[in-house]
């Protein structure tokens, strides 16, 4: 049987990884400035992470959500400590799309409405409602196009107000900073107007923190740069540092009932151990602060390269804007310089998403390599 051929592949076969380094089957070392789409938050195979998962594996790796699993409570507790989101409840699932799917469903259960407002260039995953609120025709099948979704531009408060005041909107979903779309975000005035409009009109505000959460932007959650309070927050990617896990933080006003949501694998013992290990390392190594520090250093280095027209993003969720398409540059960085980077919907943007414990010396290596390919 062949694999269903949906991924264009780079010709690299990693067999091991440590920290920011990935090693292929020929022994070639690569520097990972992309973290497999923003997943690697604490570095590959972090010793504490490996130990915690191994220890859990020796105890119990899985049982369904029909029994007590105290690790889930521990995880919720640690999440509150680090995020300061203390009047939310936690639902655990397995991926970012699944987190958003559950968030949208919950919003609709809560206010009994069904139209969703989402944003141009947004990405929320590939499942039913999550893909329907994703601004990409080509990944929406006819079955997904049945959902009622209105896509708006950022910072247009007038259009937002008129759509919400129609009365049929169940939720507004947005990425705190757009990832795949190209590192754009609304301004604080818009964020705050959105927050108030949602509250006044019984509309659930969903912050998709699947990519921007877990300290990546220099705060635990990206929306925390704007002093707003979403009703629902979705998480995944950096949460498990590669272990498939996702979650939904649900404000207490949204009530649970037995059977309302459910999953076989979500919140299993191994996923909780991986997620706890990530939070422990974020805390012990003060990595959210490091994301801010390394951002400043990165900006300074970028300013020395004239071909870089702009640096987008916050913390270590970064994009380098060029005035040419970066596809070839990414290939050169991989095959000549052995560095992984990312692309975006905006083809002129090079996405940089390293682990949050990256150092200035490693950032220097990146800019030396970039310089070599640009000059
Ligand atoms: C902002 C955002 N939301 C949701 C998703 C979907 O996550 P997953 O691929 O885990 O389903 C992604 C994935 O790239 C994402 O960037």
Residues 176 and 223 in one domain: yes
Q: How far apart, in Å, are the Cα atoms of 232 and each of 157, 190, 203?
A: 21, 18, 11
Beta bridge partners of 113: none
Q: How far apart are CA 284 and CA 281, in angstroms?
A: 5
185 lines ligand 1 (CB under 6 A): no
Average confidence (pLDDT) over 192-200: 98
Q: 7: burial class by Cβ within 10 Å (0-12, 13-18, 19+)?
A: exposed
Residues 237 and 360 in one domain: no
Instruction: Write down the H helix ranges in 256-320.
Output: 269-284, 287-302
Domain boundary pick from 266, 284, 302: 284
For atom 8 of ligand 1, the residue with the nearest CA is 96
Q: What is the pLDDT of residue 74?
A: 98
Token pair of 40, please? 């690697």
Residues 247 and 310 in one domain: no
Do 195 and 228 meet the contact criterion of CB atoms below 8 Å apart? yes
124 lines ligand 1 (CB under 6 A): yes
211 lines ligand 1 (CB under 6 A): yes
Token pair of 350, please? 């090079």
Q: How far apart are CA 200 and CA 94, in angstroms?
A: 32
Residues 35 and 63 in one domain: no
Q: Does residue 164 fall inside a structural domain?
A: yes
Q: How far apart are CA 77 and CA 359, in angstroms?
A: 30
Strand order of the sheet with strand 310-314? 310-314, 317-321, 349-352
Q: What is the CATH number of the domain that holds 290?
A: 3.90.1150.10
pLDDT digit string (tens) for 220-242? 999 999 999 999 999 999 999 99
Q: How far apart are CA 263 and CA 265, in angstroms?
A: 6
Residue 350 parent element (H or E): strand 349-352
pLDDT digit string (tens) for 66-103? 999 999 999 999 999 999 999 999 999 999 999 999 99
Say what the pTM is. Answer: 0.98
179 lines ligand 1 (CB under 6 A): yes
Q: Does residue 161 fall inside a structural domain?
A: yes
Do 71 and 272 meet the contact criterion of CB atoms below 8 Å apart? yes
Ligand 1 pocket: which of 40, 129, 134, 179 to mutate (most atoms <8 Å of CB)? 179
Q: Strands 115-119 and 349-352: what pairing?
A: unpaired
Do 270 and 245 meet the contact criterion of CB atoms below 8 Å apart? no
Residues 201 and 290 in one domain: no
Residues 19 and 86 in one domain: no
Q: Does residue 246 fall inside a structural domain?
A: yes
Domain that includes residue 366, residue range: 14-46+286-374
197 lines ligand 1 (CB under 6 A): no
Q: What is the pLDDT of residue 132?
A: 98
Q: Does residue 2 fall inside a structural domain?
A: no
Q: How far apart are CA 276 and CA 122, in angstroms?
A: 29
Domain boundary pick from 215, 249, 284: 284
Phi, psi of 85 (to 5 degrees): -90, 85
Q: What is the pLDDT of residue 38?
A: 97
Q: What is the pLDDT of residue 233?
A: 98
Residues 146 and 248 in one domain: yes
Token pair of 357, please? 């414990």
CB atoms within 10 A of CB 61: 13
Residue 243 Cα to ligand 1 middle (Å)? 14
Q: What is the CATH number of the domain that holds 138?
A: 3.40.640.10
Do 313 and 176 meet the contact criterion of CB atoms below 8 Å apart? no
125 lines ligand 1 (CB under 6 A): yes
Residues 293 and 277 in one domain: no
Residue 56 Cα to ligand 1 middle (Å)? 27
Do 257 and 52 meet the contact criterion of CB atoms below 8 Å apart? no
Domain boundary pick from 226, 256, 284: 284
Residue 96 Cα to ligand 1 middle (Å)? 5
Which of 175, 222, 225, 172 has its CA nearest to residue 196? 172
Residue 211 Cα to ligand 1 middle (Å)? 7
236 lines ligand 1 (CB under 6 A): yes
Of the chain, the percentage scoring pLDDT greater than 90 comes to 100
User: For 115, what's the count of Cα atoms within 13 Å in the CB-facing half-sphere?
Assistant: 11
Q: Does residue 9 fall inside a structural domain?
A: no
Q: How far apart are CA 367 and CA 370, in angstroms?
A: 5
What's the number of domains the chain is made of?
Answer: 2
Residues 36 and 52 in one domain: no
C-alpha triplet 43, 122, 158: angle, nearest 5°: 135
Residues 176 and 301 in one domain: no
208 lines ligand 1 (CB under 6 A): yes
pLDDT digit string (tens) for 109-152? 999 999 999 999 999 999 999 999 999 999 999 999 999 999 99
Q: How far apart are CA 38 and CA 17, in angstroms?
A: 15
Do 251 and 224 meet the contact criterion of CB atoms below 8 Å apart? no
Residues 103 and 174 in one domain: yes
Averaged confidence pLDDT in the chain: 98
Q: What is the DSSP letter of 211?
A: T
Residues 223 and 308 in one domain: no
Do 38 and 317 meet the contact criterion of CB atoms below 8 Å apart? yes
Q: Does residue 4 fall inside a structural domain?
A: no
Q: Does residue 28 fall inside a structural domain?
A: yes
Three-class secondary structure assignment of 246-258: EEEEEECCCCCCC
Of the chain, the percentage scoring pLDDT greater than 70 comes to 100
Per-residue confidence band for 313, with pLDDT thresholds at 50, 70 and 90: very high
Residue 26 Cα to ligand 1 middle (Å)? 31
Q: Does residue 87 fall inside a structural domain?
A: yes
Q: How far apart are CA 22 and CA 35, in angstroms?
A: 10
Q: For residue 122, which atom of ligand 1 is closest to its CA?
A: 1
């Amino acid at each position: 049987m062949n694999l269903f051929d949906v991924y264009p592949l780079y010709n690299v076969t990693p067999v091991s990884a440590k920290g920011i380094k990935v090693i292929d089957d020929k022994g070639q070392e690569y520097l990972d400035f992309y973290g497999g789409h923003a997943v690697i938050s604490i570095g590959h195979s972090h010793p504490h992470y490996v130990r915690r998962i191994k220890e859990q594996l020796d105890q119990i790796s899985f049982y369904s959500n029909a029994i007590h699993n105290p690790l889930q409570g521990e995880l919720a507790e640690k999440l509150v400590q680090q995020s300061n989101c203390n009047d939310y409840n936690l639902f655990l699932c397995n991926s970012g799309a699944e987190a958003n799917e559950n968030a949208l469903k919950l919003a609709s259960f809560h206010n009994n409405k069904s139209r969703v407002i989402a944003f141009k260039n947004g990405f929320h995953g590939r499942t039913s409602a999550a893909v329907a609120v994703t601004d990409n025709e080509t990944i929406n099948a006819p079955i997904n196009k049945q959902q009622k979704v209105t896509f708006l531009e950022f910072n247009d408060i007038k259009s937002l107000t008129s759509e919400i005041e129609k009365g049929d909107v169940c939720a507004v979903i947005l990425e705190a900073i757009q990832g795949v779309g190209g590192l754009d975000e609304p301004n604080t005035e818009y964020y705050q107007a959105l927050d108030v409009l949602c509250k006044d009109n019984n509309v659930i505000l969903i912050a998709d923190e699947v990519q921007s959460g877990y300290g990546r932007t220099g705060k635990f959650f990206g929306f925390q740069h704007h002093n707003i309070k979403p009703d629902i927050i979705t998480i995944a990617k950096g949460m498990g540092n590669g272990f498939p896990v996702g979650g939904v933080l649900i404000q207490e006003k949204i009530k649970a009932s037995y059977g309302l949501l459910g999953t076989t694998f979500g919140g299993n013992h191994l996923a909780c151990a991986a997620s706890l290990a990530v939070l422990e390392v974020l805390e012990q190594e003060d990595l959210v602060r490091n994301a801010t520090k390394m951002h400043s250093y990165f900006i300074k280095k970028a300013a020395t390269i004239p071909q870089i027209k702009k640096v987008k993003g916050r913390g270590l969720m970064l994009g380098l804007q060029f005035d040419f398409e970066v596809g070839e540059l990414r290939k050169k960085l991989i095959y000549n310089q052995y560095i992984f980077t990312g692309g975006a919907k905006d083809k002129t943007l090079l996405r940089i998403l390293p682990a949050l414990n990256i150092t200035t010396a490693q950032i220097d290596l990146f800019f030396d390599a970039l310089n070599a390919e640009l000059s």
